[in-house]
Structure formats: structure tokens, C-alpha cells
Structure 1
Amino acid sequence: MMHIILGWLNRYRTSKETERLFESLLTLAWIVEAKDPYTGGHLWRVSQLANTVAHAEKWTNEDRAAVTLGGFLHDLGKVSVPDSVLCKSGPLTDEEFEVIKNHPNEGLYVLEGHPLTPIVKNAVGLHHERIDGNGYPNQLKGDDIPTDAKLIALCDAFDAMTSQRPYRNPIPKDSAIDIVEKNLGTQFDLKLGAKFVELAHAGSFDSIIAHSDEGIPLHHCPTCGPTIMQYRTDKVGQHLHCPICLQQAELIKEGGQYRLKPTGERLPEAKQRRRPDTALIRRIIYNTVRSIPTQSLIARAHQSS
């Protein structure tokens, strides 16, 4: 199987062709994220949290690249989850929760046949498994869960806690750290979790929490919380909008800082979705895989599976 995949990748051996393959996946992931108005920047944050921990743990370049890309792609399967379930503000019914629980498998279906699947399949298919075996969809436990999936599970949960949700405001960083610490060895991997807690206390995640890009924090909607995303390419005077209440605000700059000035106007619902941030996607790809042969990443994925 390995030689078939490597032979396939020979058709994509130039850097530009490889970048297009990665871009096709990351753009799809971004479109999936846009389905849920409360998760703006979630993929970038999980990706960067995972990269930070992997770097601190001195993972190889290939392992760090794989988990960084996997962090951005882990929620691919939510493309199959109805908006009525994904964005529900109240408790899910048992049937709705079963739909949610299947999104890791749906993500693997989306990836099926893509030549880069081996690099990110653990992150996509196994990021809701738990060390104690009470996760989903496979109820794997302990060392049966690949290390990259363990790390994505931890980063995903931490970002969910520290982000705005339809049913609650963000949990303070220190409270989220305490929850992680209390669940080491049950929900989360003990070794990775200890390093995560250490980095979190040291402030290593402060530029990631509640941000949607490096140096760009989420803006606060007056009624919905930190839910408005600013792209690096957005210009002063441009109108941004809250993806939840659709109220528009003008991007202004004062004292060297960007902020939003409400316009009192509401964006028509038909225009609420923004284009994917292709500049961010390309920067992630460039920074992650610029010096790593794709074949090396594929080989790493097969060795760890």
C-alpha cells in the first residue's frame, strides 16, 4: 500500500502542486468551521496549541507538521452534521448526540481517496477518544490511541472551554487549566497533559486563546461576546459582522490597535458567510511543510499507524 501512495504522490512532487493538495483540505475545513458561528478561529487555535506542545516536547519535524495540519483538519466530519444540531443552544437529544458522535467517522469518509489522508487521519478520526475508553467513536483507551490524536483531543477540549459557546461564556484560562489537570489519566493523556498544563501556566497559549490568527484577537460583539473574526487582509474602514446576530461594525484603528465601531446596521442573512481566509491557509501550509518532503510525512504517518 505504501508504494502505491508514494507512486500517486509522484504526480504531485512539485512544491506548488503539493501546496494545492494541502490547500484543498484546509479550505474545506474552513468551510466546515463556517457552519458553526460560535467556532470562528477554532481550527487555527487547535492547530497552534498542538504545534506549541509538540515543539516543547521536541517532536520530529514530521510529527509536528502532521499534528499541526491535523489540528486544522480535525473537525472535517462536521460537514455532515445538520446546522440545527451543530448550532443548537439547548441540550442535545440522544439522537442528536449520536449524530455528533459520528462526525469523526464522517471526516474519514470525506478524506477517503485523498493522497494526504495518512498524514491527518488520526487527528480527524480519533480526536474524541479518551484515555479511559469512554470516548467515541471507537472507545479506544490508553496507548491504543495514537499520540497525535491524544494531543488534538486535549487542544480541542481546551479551546472549547475557553471559547464562546451558545450555552455559556468562555471559561477563564485558569479554570480551564484546572479542569484539564483534574482529568489527566482519565480523559486526557497524563504526560502530554502535564506538559500542556505547564505551558498554559507559563503563558505560552496567551497569544492563541481567543485569537483567530497570530496577533489578531477575536473582536467582541456587544451582545454575543468574542465572536467577530478579523482577517489579516481586512482594511481599516471595512465592515465586519457578528456571525450570530449579524450586526455590522466598521474596522477602525486607534492608538495602534484595531477595534470595531458599531454601524447600527444588520447584514442580510443571505450574505452572512465570509470567504475562506486563503492567506492564513497558505501561511499555515508554508510554515508547516516548507522544508519537509511530502513522502517523509506519508512515511511517518504509516510508521505511527
Structure 2
Amino acid sequence: MPYSTSMPTPKILVVDDSLLIRKAIQHELTQLGAMVTQARDGQEGLEKAHADHFDLIISDVDMPRMDGYTLCQQLKADPKTARTPVVICSSQDSEEAIDKGFHAGADGYLPKSDGSEGFRRAIRDVLDRANIISGRLILVVDDSTLVRHSVSDALTQAGFRVATANNGRAAMQWLADNGAPDLIISDIEMPQMGGMELLTTIKRHPQWHSIPFLVMTSMADQGTIRRLYRAGAASYVPKPFNAPHLVHTAEKLLSDNFLKLLREKERLQSEHGLLLASITSLIQALEARDLYTRGHSEAVARIATGMARTMGMPAEQVESLEIAARLHDLGKIGIPDSVLLKPGKLTDEEYEIIKTHPTIGADILRPIPSLADLIPAVQSHHERLDGTGYPQGLKGDEIPLFARIIAVGDIYHALTSNRPYRAPMPEDRVLEIINDARGSHLCPECVDVFLQYLEASGQHAPRPATAGTPL
């Protein structure tokens, strides 16, 4: 599985005195999509690390000229390379060897006996964490100028961006002015507003409650720690604190939090995809009920997205519009066959039944949170600018833009398609009808965009055997 976060192709330096092992590691890393540079020993690795920037360095331990521990120590001692993650990869997997690697400053320790999948998974994790941490913003809250400066310096050297406040009230003002940081590190005992009050206030606020909150405190008794965790603190560090320990705790909280959010986003996207696939199957089942409705939703979605791109709409909105257009007739699944498939014009009573399909479609989507933004387009695609449409009789700009776009594509495709009681209309006549409806039925700007889209795409009226909703 290739490396899939937002970082560009990761550049990795592999340091090992064995050509065979270097090539084996390079093979595994190329499976992740990495660009690999090799070095034969620690000295050459150090020279290459100084000459170029790497996203990760993987080093053996026992090598001539300079061993892996010494290489790691020198890399971490140099400000230019101190923030580059270093992973020791060795056949020495004793507790003593692992401790020695971490004492040298290594960010990870991999036994060479772990196997291909374990190796790639560990490297992905290191890269994910490095990418997640880089440039994140931390708000440091403490009434001591010395503490604020020392914490800020340590975090800045580790690659974080830092903002400061001298008490909880100042921190609240900073949040109101600047929005949510990625992490808050706060003292407990402060004038005006202490850390506990700041913590409880933030956790009650819907925009800020998910910010990880790290407490610095000299009151490390069991009762205080329990109260902190109960109030929502992610972790704490006792004062006087050790700067490397504080930085490591901040890195862990951030990486764990962002990886959790990333996994949750991936889970939601997967569920969203499965949900859309299920609904698409419903649409296909609906349109398969009759030759005259087959492919209508897909055609309207194609026209709507073409119009959206002509308007210069952002890609995310184009994608949402495409989904809304595909679902615009979803509510017809609740219309009886005797009405929906009637081979002729509808009676007034039957037309009233047909007019319920936008509301039925909206009701089907309403329990699905991820599709909530699409409901107005589905519910309103038969509204008219003059207020004579249905189901709510909306007028002008009260009609959502997505619905106004879909309405043009819906009418165009309906009129240029076969119906049980008539053949497709000529395109000139269809465009004439659409122009006549400008300003009364259809949005004038959307009609203009539709005509631009047709001209730019060189399209002529399609002639598939499909139909839309009766006009």
C-alpha cells in the first residue's frame, strides 16, 4: 500500500554496510512510493544527511567508521537534522540494544526479523507521525514568563508553531480571535482564570472541545490528577518538567489525536461510499421499473456537473452537486406504479401524487447526517422562481442554487427524451421552451450557464429513450 498522507513523495536515507540489506530495504520502501538514497556507513550517512533533506533516516547499528548510535546522536545534536526522524533497524533486538537506541535519540527501533509487512507498517507510522506533527500550532498558557519562553523554545525547536497566553482569560480571548490550535498546554495555578476553569470551559464549547489539553502542574497528587482527567485533560506533565519529555508528550498527543481523526475520516468516507452505492442501487432499481425512466438521473447529473464546472465551482461542491443530481428523483420510489408508469398524461389527482416525490426523497435522506447538505436540492428541484412550483412554493433566491441548476438539466433531458405519449422534441424547440421559462420557471443565470455549457461541450440534444418528471 503506497504512502497516502498529504506529504509529497517521502525521501528516505538508508544507512547500512550491507549492500544486500540496503537493496532489500529499498525494495520495501519503494512499495510505499518512497524515494530512497543509500549510504554505506554512518559517516557517509551523516554527510548525505547534511547535504540534502530527508523525511526519514533508517540506520543499521554495527557499521565501520561510524555506528548507528553515534550517527543518531550527531544527527539529533545538529539543528539542521535534529527534527529528522531516525529509525534504528538492527538484528540486535534485546532490551539493552533498544534502550541504547532510544537514549541516542532514535524515534523508532525496528528488528530486522519483523518481516516485510511489519516493516512497511512501522515506516508508514513513523512517516504519518512526522507529517502530522510538522508545523502544528500549540497554545502555551502560563503566568510565568520564564516557563512560557522555555516551553516555547523547546516546542519551536521540535518543529511546532507556538502561541502564548499568560492566563486562562487571555487564552480564551486568543481562541476567540484566532480559532482552535492543534494542542493547548496549560498551567493550573494562574490569576484571573486558572487552568482547571480554562479546561472545563473549553470542553463545554462545541468548537473547541476536541482540542487535546496537556496540563503542566506541580500538584501531581492523585486527587488532582483524577480531577484533571475527569474534566477532559488528555495528559499531564509534572513541574519542574523535562523539556524533551514535554515535547515527546506533545508529539504523542498530537499524532494520536490526528491519526484518530484521520482513521475516523477514512471510516466515514468508506461508510459514505457504501451508503451512496446502496442509494445508487435504489435509483437504478427505480429507473429499471420502466424503459422511459432509465438513465435519467445519470444524465441530469452529467448536465449539472458540466454547468457547475462552467461556473467555476470548487471541486468539492461539484462532487456534492453530482450526488444531489443523481438522487433528485429518489422519492419516486414511493410513488405507486399505477401513477409513475401510467402510459399517458396524468389526471390532476395523479399529478398531486407525483408532486410528493421531492418530499419523499428528502424524508429518505433526512436520517443520514452525511447527506444533510443535499436535502434542499432534492426537495426543491421542482420549485419555480415565480413561486408556482412545489412542494413549498419557494420564490427566487429562496430556491437553493443546486436545485436551480438541477431543474434546468431535468427539464432539458425530459423534453429531449422519449415519453409514453410523445417522441423527443427537437433541440431547437427544447431550447426555446427553456428560454421562455427564464425568470418565471427557471433561474436566468442558470439558463445562461447551461447554454454556455452546451456550446463549450459541442453537445447536441441527446436522443436516449428516457424521461424525466412531467412538466
Task: Indicate the TM-score class for this superposition, using the shorter chain for normalisation.
Answer: 0.5 to 0.7
Shift of 1:116: 2.6
> Which residue of 1 is the match for residue 35 of structure 2?
none
| Structure number with larger C-alpha Rg | 2
Q: Could you list the runs of 5+ residues in structure 2 that have no partner in the other structure? A: 1-205, 208-260, 467-471
Distance 2:268 2:358 in 1: 31
> Which residue of 1 is the match for residue 355 of structure 2?
101
TM-score (normalizing by structure 1)? 0.63
Q: Please point out which of 427, 450, 457 is paired with 1:196.
A: 450
Question: Kindly tell me: are residues 169 and 15 of structure 1, through their superposed partners in 2, closer, same or farther at Cα, counting changes over 3 Å?
Answer: same
What is the Cα-based RMSD across aligned positions, in Å?
2.3
Residue type of the partner of 2:433?
I
CA deviations 1:47-102 (Å, max 9, x no partner) are: 00000000000011122111111111100100111111111122212211110011
> Which residue of 1 is the match for residue 114 of structure 2?
none
Shift of 1:118: 1.6
> Which residue of 1 is the match for residue 374 of structure 2?
120
> Which residue of 1 is the match for residue 419 of structure 2?
165
Q: How do 1:218-233 residues align onto structure 2 when only pairs under 5 Å count?
A: 218=464, 226=465
Question: Kindly tell me: are residues 113 and 133 of structure 1, through their superposed partners in 2, closer, same or farther at Cα, counting changes over 3 Å?
Answer: same
Q: How do 1:15-94 residues align onto structure 2 when only pairs under 5 Å count?
A: 15-94=269-348
Distance 1:12 1:110 in 2: 24
4+ runs of 1 displaced by more than 6 Å? none
> Which residue of 2 is the match for residue 255 of structure 1?
none
Residue type of the partner of 2:287?
E
Question: Kindly tell me: are residues 104 and 83 of structure 1, through their superposed partners in 2, closer, same or farther at Cα, counting changes over 3 Å?
Answer: same
Q: Could you list the runs of 5+ residues in structure 1 that have no partner in the other structure? A: 211-217, 219-225, 228-305
Q: How do 1:277-296 residues align onto structure 2 when only pairs under 5 Å count?
A: none
Shift of 1:36: 3.2
8 Å CA contact 1:177, 1:200 repeated in 2: no
Q: Please point out which of 187, 209, 214 is paired with 2:462.
A: 209
Distance 1:35 1:10 in 2: 38
CA deviations 1:136-158 (Å, max 9, x no partner) are: 01000100001000001111111
Q: Tell me, what secondary structure is at the counterpart of 2:291? A: coil
Shift of 1:121: 0.9
Shift of 1:201: 4.2
Distance 1:119 1:26 in 2: 17
**Structure ranking higher on relative contact order (CA contacts 8 Å, 6+ apart):** 1
> Which residue of 1 is the match for residue 15 of structure 2?
none
> Which residue of 2 is the match for residue 142 of structure 1?
396
Distance 1:136 1:46 in 2: 19
Q: Tell me, what secondary structure is at the counterpart of 1:13? A: helix
8 Å CA contact 1:181, 1:197 repeated in 2: no
Q: How many residues align?
A: 207
Q: Please point out which of 405, 410, 431 is paired with 1:151.
A: 405
Question: Kindly tell me: are residues 123 and 204 of structure 1, through their superposed partners in 2, closer, same or farther at Cα, counting changes over 3 Å?
Answer: farther
8 Å CA contact 1:43, 1:72 repeated in 2: yes
Q: Tell me, what secondary structure is at the counterpart of 1:88? A: coil
Shift of 1:124: 1.4
Distance 1:55 1:203 in 2: 11
